[in-house]
Structure 1
């Protein structure tokens, strides 16, 4: 019999790393990697998360893909330095979660920010003439304050998104919605506290998570290797992410790009 992929993958653990702010490029990369895990029939997946969260829709799509993959693959999430907000949401797509005791996690909630430059524009003598089809078409415009009605509309949007977040955690972790709401108020907490609250299963390292994933898949932890799935980096990305860590310049560019591209969007994001 000819296998579409070498049988070696059936005795390996796939590893996918999610780092930095979650946005559209993260979603595309992770969904592609998850498809590869399924096609190559890896029996287990180690999902390493080191992220403050990000956009709502992209986080939801990654979570849904993980939920589908659960039917075929054992998934263990491992928290790094930080797994907050959207990072927590994504982890709910894993059957099991391991966190370092000192991991920064939590920040369960939604944030939406806009910029009001009205007074600055007045000082420099700049104004805008807006023609719109409805009273709320320019909601969150940077050249004026929000009206009370607009604040109500945005608060309703935030409340719905928050409800989705809380319900997902409650379903994934077997908790009551009321219980989740007692700590889902935007606060951050440590991995040790997260275990007490029930949002993670065990305290440990990425290696501990790998061993657990191997055991769940019926593999020998001593022999089962991790196969990290990632896209080849372009030359410019290799420069900005040289060595084992991301350069300060690369980090700054990524955050500026993220801030500009997500302005005015509801975010599941921890903003220190």
Structure 2
């Protein structure tokens, strides 16, 4: 690859402030969607100022890429520690269906943790940059008890509620055993959904995800590859260039005949139906 093509590729791949763009970036036949910073369900003024990705924006970008006839594949450029569970399962389902329409490749560049790994796992292929961290398959909830601090400083907080558990889990009272059991059940529920989604996306079993995918830890690239959390180690630039080369080769080789078979009327109707469901 010559210097000019390197510069062109670098300009096309979103970095820094460009990552907050609400439309995919394009390089050749690839739509590159940046997943940056904390992940939330919807954009707020906080994410606009501090950065981050909203699932609502990512959903729109995926749909745009699917609807763009000039786009042949989608690359998720991920650098995120994760985020909220809200909307995550729904976006995961969108990605999983989308990969039946166009190939999706996720690149950990250079962090795909927790909710960000959930997203990555729904792609056809998950790639880790050599210096990346991947994993954190788990769910965490925190409760802070300020009751002793309040007592020490003469503060007494009274909650006036309707509904037996309306104030359950507030930070001005110790967490009761009953409340702890309830919140633990909720955490387990989200964790089970997380594991099931990763297992489906990675084409493995629930037990394998629980046993080998870090148990909540983050792995480096080599450990993640050994565990089956990623498919290979490579750089984002190489991945995008390879996708362009693959498409160019397919247009010149007998493999293009297989591509034609994949676009028979029956297959096209199925893909059109999936696209319709995703775009509406």
Q: TM-score range by the shorter chain?
A: 0.7 to 0.9
Name 2:115's counterpart in structure 1.
86
Secondary structure of the structure 2 residue equivalent to 1:47: strand
**Residue equivalent to 2:9:** none
Corresponding residue of 2:106: 77
Give a deviation string over 1:88-135, Cα, whole Å, max 9, x none. 100122111110133111111000112221112112222122222333
Equivalent residue pairs, number: 212
Change (3 A) 1:11 1:103: closer
Whose helix proportion is higher, 1 or 2?
A: 2
Of the two structures, which has the highest relative contact order with CA contacts closer than 8 Å and spacing of 6 or more? 1
Q: Pick closer, same or farther for the CA change 1:16–1:101 going to 2, 3 Å.
A: same
Please say if residues 27 and 61 of structure 1, whose CA atoms lie closer than 8 Å, have aligned partners that are also in contact: no
1:34 matched to 2:67 = no
Deviations 1:179-221 (A, max 9, x none): 21113421111111111111111110002221343356x2469
> Which residue of the partner structure matches residue 107 of structure 1?
136
SS in 2 for 1:57: coil
Of residues 18, 22, 34, the one that matches 1:17 is 34
Q: Which residue of 1 aligns with 2:226?
A: 196
Question: Does 123-132 or 162-171 show the bigger shift?
Answer: 123-132
In the superposition, the TM-score normalised over structure 1's length comes to 0.72
Change (3 A) 1:10 1:117: closer
User: TM-score, normalising length from structure 2?
Assistant: 0.71
Q: Is the 8 A contact 1:82 1:103 kept in 2?
A: yes
Summarize the alignment of residues 47-66 of structure 1 with structure 2, pairs less than 5 Å apart: 47-66=76-95
* Contact kept in structure 1, 2:122 and 2:198, CA below 8 Å: no
Aligned-pair RMSD on alpha carbons?
2.0
Unaligned runs of 5+ in 1: 1-8, 222-272
Q: For 1:139 and 1:211, how far apart are their aligned partners in 2?
A: 53
Moved over 6 A (4+): none
Gaps of 5+ in 2: 1-25, 44-53, 251-280
CA gap of 1:116–1:10, structure 2 versus 1, over 3 A, is closer
Over 3 Å counting, the alpha-carbon distance change for 1:56 and 1:210 in structure 2 is same
